[in-house]
């Protein structure tokens, strides 16, 4: 993929090139992940959201997801906080150009955006206007084979000063989830 295919002047930054997507899709199929909602992963996302709320001291619990990235994003684990007005409703499938998880998968590194609007590269993402996302914390899920399967992430409509505590939280929880996935394979955690 050329620079012109990745970035078009006066348009949003498109999803980064991801040459590992076909191998990732095959690995996810082997593991039985990313094909449908998973109650254990939904519970994991709920626990992650509550830990994030505790860490940030926010009144409202943020959104949390277990996201498997191939030619699409599939939220195998999803927690959406109760909303009295039903303002934001997330489905399980998300286009690749929505959000920051594809960047985390390609980079294979955690990403903390206290306020996405502070980063020109990310401020124009469709989730900012469509969903009102203002903060993001995500970490890659690196499989025992070395494949980056996807991410776990936290998003919210208010900027949050996550800093190192947020980075540590998301990285530690990503490691915890990989232990769960290894146990599902019948391997020691």
Could you report the per-residue pLDDT of 88-125, keeping only the tens digit for each? 567 899 888 888 999 999 999 999 999 999 988 888 88
Distance CA 15, CA 158 (A): 24
Residue 12 lies in a domain: no
Average pLDDT, the chain: 88
Kindly state the DSSP code that residue 92 receives in the 8-state scheme: S
Residue 52 lies in a domain: yes
Contact present, 28 and 149 (Cβ < 8 Å)? yes
Residue 9 lies in a domain: no
CATH code at 116? 3.30.450.40
pLDDT tens column, 127-162: 888 888 999 999 999 999 999 999 999 999 999 999
Give percent of the chain above pLDDT 70.
89
DSSP-based three-state secondary structure for 167: helix
Residue 14 lies in a domain: no
pLDDT at 16: 85
Q: How confident is the model at residue 42 (pLDDT cuts 50, 70, 90)?
A: very high
The residue with tokens 């499938």 is 93
pLDDT at 34: 94
Q: How confident is the model at residue 7 (pLDDT cuts 50, 70, 90)?
A: very low
Residue 129's contacts (CB-CB under 8 Å, 6 or more residues apart) are none
Q: Is 80 left (phi over 0), alpha (psi -120 to 50) or beta?
A: beta
Residue 165 lies in a domain: yes
Residue 5 lies in a domain: no
* Exposure string over 95-122, b if 16+ CB within 10 A, otherwise e: ebebbbbbbbbbeeebbbbbebeeeeeb
Top mean pLDDT of 32-41, 54-63, 78-87 is at 32-41
Query: CA nearest 23: which of 107, 140, 143?
Result: 143
The residue with tokens 């930054």 is 13
Q: How confident is the model at residue 85 (pLDDT cuts 50, 70, 90)?
A: low
Token pair for 125: 């993402």
Domain extent at residue 151: 21-184
Give percent of the chain above pLDDT 90.
68
Residue 92's contacts (CB-CB under 8 Å, 6 or more residues apart) are 37, 74, 75, 76, 78
Kindly state the DSSP code that residue 117 receives in the 8-state scheme: G
Total structural domains within the chain: 1
Token pair for 106: 């390609």
Residue 99 lies in a domain: yes
Q: How confident is the model at residue 86 (pLDDT cuts 50, 70, 90)?
A: low
List C-alpha distances in Å: 25 to 20, 131, 150.
9, 27, 10
pLDDT at 84: 61
Kindly report the number of other CB atoms within 10 A of residue 61's CB atom.
Answer: 20
Mean pLDDT of 77-88: 76
């Amino acid at each position: 993929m050329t620079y012109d295919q990745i970035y078009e002047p006066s348009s949003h930054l498109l999803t980064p090139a991801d040459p590992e997507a076909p191998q990732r899709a095959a690995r996810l199929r082997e593991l039985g992940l990313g094909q449908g909602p998973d109650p254990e992963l939904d519970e994991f996302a709920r626990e992650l959201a509550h830990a994030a709320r505790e860490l940030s001291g926010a009144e409202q619990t943020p959104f949390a997801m277990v996201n498997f990235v191939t030619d699409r994003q599939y939220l195998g684990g999803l927690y959406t906080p109760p909303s009295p007005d039903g303002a934001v409703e997330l489905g399980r499938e998300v286009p690749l150009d929505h959000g920051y998880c594809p960047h985390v998968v390609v980079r294979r590194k955690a990403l903390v955006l206290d306020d996405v609007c502070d980063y020109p590269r990310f401020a124009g993402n469709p989730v900012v206007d469509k969903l009102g996302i203002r903060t993001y914390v995500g970490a890659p899920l690196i499989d025992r084979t070395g494949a980056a399967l996807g991410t776990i992430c936290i998003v919210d409509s208010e900027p949050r000063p996550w800093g190192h505590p947020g980075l540590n939280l998301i990285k530690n929880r990503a490691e915890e989830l990989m232990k769960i996935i290894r146990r599902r394979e019948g391997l020691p955690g």
